[in-house]
């Protein structure tokens, strides 16, 4: 970890043209949570070392360090020319306070996702899953939501979070205007903390917009000619570019980026043959997610339903109708179905320590409605039962950052089999066959 952060120091120092200072790193090894954050007062970064379910091509601690240390350097860049008088009067708390209204969160998170993508081996920017909802939204709609809604979110419609919105904004702007564009924005925001200068993008982008447009048209026409698909004229790029202009330079930049992303993705979509699909869930007014779907014996689908007007709950869907099944606790993922038994994992908070927790396996009998817990001392994730439901395979994630593949007796919780895989991350184990 120390060697990695030392290497990142030199990369980020050059990339952001900053002079990062020392920072304390706290490792939470006794938590079932997978997360990380940076705090300025007191100055530190905290890593929750349990890898998330689903796995990744990147080691979890490498991913955390690459992303979170970028935030450290961002704040140091912001504070470089911050007025010393304000720091003297209000202490170090004034820096994040000013940062919160000068710099939108999507800028910080988008830049950190770009950093993990560029400087890591497998950042989220390389994953098609990361932008799939945002991409679907731009492909389905001719126009997009306004900038204020993109930043503030919605209690009704789908709006990408700061990571999924920020990454394409940062990456596309950096491609068009150079890497110094956002570096200067961070510097200028810290140099002038007064609230009446709220936009971190100055009006200077207007002089370069014409060049960006010409380059975009040339690229779209070139791809259209090579692939035998439509080009810039059919996408009405010039017309959109004209109406993108706003009195707020940030809004102009946002509209330009959405225009380009939509055009490129629509052109890209023509390369592929798509299949028809049928929506099985009932129509909802507010944005709703159905995750971890499994087909039941009666042909219905059971899934974990979440949304803006719904707490997390398991529901059954059949012929466009929805039936409530059960309300679980804090689900960590890894939902599986075996006959009439539904398995999942929940967070169990520690009775004493706020930053300590475990993950336990629960299962629900869909016939009787009875919920049971498989008793075990370790934190268990991603359960899956064998054909007769007598055994359950799961992943045990330990505080020393090692993983074990274990098999438990479903009734007693006794350990039947254990195989240590060291620091190798395990994702979604399931039974094919098992010999004792």
DSSP sequence for 121-144? SS-GGG-GGGGHHHHHHHHH-SS-
Helix (H, G, I), strand (E, B) or coil at 369: coil
| Whole-number pLDDT of residue 285 | 83
Given this model, what pLDDT does residue 240 score?
87
Residue 13 pLDDT grade (very low, low, confident, very high; cuts 50, 70, 90): confident
pLDDT band with cut points at 50, 70 and 90 for residue 198: low
Confidence band (pLDDT; 50, 70, 90) for 170?
Answer: very high
pTM: 0.91
Question: Is 312:331 a contact under the CB 8 Å cutoff?
Answer: yes
In which band, very low, low, confident or very high, does the pLDDT at 108 lie, cut at 50, 70 and 90? very high
The residues near 329 (Cβ < 8 Å, ≥ 6 apart) are: 346, 347
pLDDT digits (tens, 9 = 90+) for 252-269: 999 999 999 999 999 988
Mean pLDDT of the chain: 89
Residue 326 pLDDT more than 80? yes
Distance of CA 284 to the CA centre of its chain: 24
- Half-sphere exposure at residue 323, Cβ-oriented, CA atoms within 13 angstroms: 9
Burial classification of residue 79, based on how many CB atoms lie within 10 Å of its CB (0-12 exposed, 13-18 middle, 19 or more buried): buried
Q: Which residues pair with 407 in a beta bridge?
A: 393, 417
Q: Are 365 and 314 in contact (CB under 8 A)?
A: no
* CATH number, domain 2-200: 1.10.390
Q: Write down the pLDDT at residue 203.
A: 62
Residue 26: pLDDT over 90? yes
Question: Looking up tokens 């992943």, which residue turns up?
Answer: 395
**Residue 162, C-beta contacts closer than 8 angstroms, at least 6 positions apart:** 104, 105, 106, 108, 109, 110
- Split at pLDDT 50, 70, 90, the class of 206 is confident
Over the stretch 225-246, which tens digit does the pLDDT of each residue have? 887 788 888 888 888 898 999 9
Q: What's the DSSP call for residue 395?
A: E
pLDDT digits (tens, 9 = 90+) for 27-81: 999 999 999 999 988 889 999 999 998 767 889 999 999 999 999 999 888 888 7
Distance (Å, rounded) from C-alpha 416 to C-alpha 406? 8
User: Tokens 């439509």, residue?
Assistant: 230
Q: Report, as an integer, the average pLDDT of 112-140.
A: 92
Determine the pLDDT at residue 161. Answer: 94
Closest by CA to 381, choosing from 338, 341, 344, is: 344
**Overall average pLDDT of the 162-169 stretch:** 96
Backbone angles phi, psi at 312, to 5 degrees: -65, 130
Q: Give CA–CA dist 170/111, Å, rounded.
A: 6
Residue written as token pair 């939470």: 28
| 142-152 CB burial, b ≥16 within 10 A, e <16 | eebbebeebee
Spatial distance between the Cα atoms of 256 and 240, rounded to a whole number of angstroms: 8
Q: Going by DSSP bridges, is the β-strand pair 24-28/43-49 parallel, antiparallel, or unpaired? A: parallel
Residue 139 is predicted with a pLDDT of: 92
């Amino acid at each position: 970890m120390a060697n990695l952060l030392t290497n990142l120091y030199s990369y980020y120092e050059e990339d952001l043209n900053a002079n990062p200072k020392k920072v304390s790193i706290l490792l939470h090894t006794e938590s079932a949570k997978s997360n990380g954050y940076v705090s300025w007062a007191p100055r530190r970064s905290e890593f929750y070392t349990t890898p998330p379910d689903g796995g990744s091509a990147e080691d979890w601690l490498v991913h955390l360090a690459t992303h979170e240390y970028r935030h450290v350097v961002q704040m140091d860049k912001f504070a470089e020319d911050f007025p010393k008088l304000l720091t003297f009067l209000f202490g170090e708390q004034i820096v994040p306070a000013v940062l919160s209204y000068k710099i939108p969160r999507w800028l910080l998170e988008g830049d950190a996702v770009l950093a993990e993508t560029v400087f890591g081996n497998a950042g989220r920017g390389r994953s098609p899953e990361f932008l799939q909802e945002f991409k679907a939204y731009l492909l389905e709609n001719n126009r997009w939501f306004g900038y204020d809604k993109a930043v503030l979110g919605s209690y009704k419609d789908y709006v990408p979070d700061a990571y999924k919105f920020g990454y394409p904004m940062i990456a596309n702007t950096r491609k068009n205007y150079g890497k110094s564009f956002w570096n200067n924005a961070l510097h200028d925001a810290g140099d002038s903390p007064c609230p009446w200068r709220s936009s971190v993008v100055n009006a200077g982008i207007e002089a370069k917009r014409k060049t960006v447009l010409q380059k975009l048209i040339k690229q779209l026409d070139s791809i259209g000619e090579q692939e035998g698909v439509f080009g810039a004229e059919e996408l009405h790029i010039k017309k959109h570019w004209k109406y993108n202009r706003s009195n707020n330079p940030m809004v102009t930049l946002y509209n330009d980026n959405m225009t380009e992303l939509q055009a490129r993705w629509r052109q890209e979509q023509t390369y592929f043959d798509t299949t028809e699909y049928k929506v099985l869930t009932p129509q909802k007014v507010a944005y709703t997610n159905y995750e971890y779907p499994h087909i039941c014996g009666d042909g219905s689908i059971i899934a974990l339903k979440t949304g803006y007007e719904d707490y997390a709950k398991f529901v059954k869907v059949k012929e466009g109708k929805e039936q409530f099944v059960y309300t679980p606790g804090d689900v960590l993922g890894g939902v599986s179905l075996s006959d009439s038994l539904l398995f999942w994992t929940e967070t169990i908070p520690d009775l004493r320590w706020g930053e300590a927790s475990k993950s336990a396996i629960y299962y629900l009998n869909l016939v009787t409605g009875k919920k049971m817990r498989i008793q075990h001392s370790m934190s268990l994730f991603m359960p899956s039962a064998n054909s007769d439901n007598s055994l359950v395979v799961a992943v045990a994630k330990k505080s020393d950052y090692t993983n074990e593949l274990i098999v438990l007796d479903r009734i007693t919780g006794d350990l039947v089999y254990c195989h240590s895989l060291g620091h190798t991350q395990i994702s979604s184990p399931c039974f094919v066959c098992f010999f004792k």
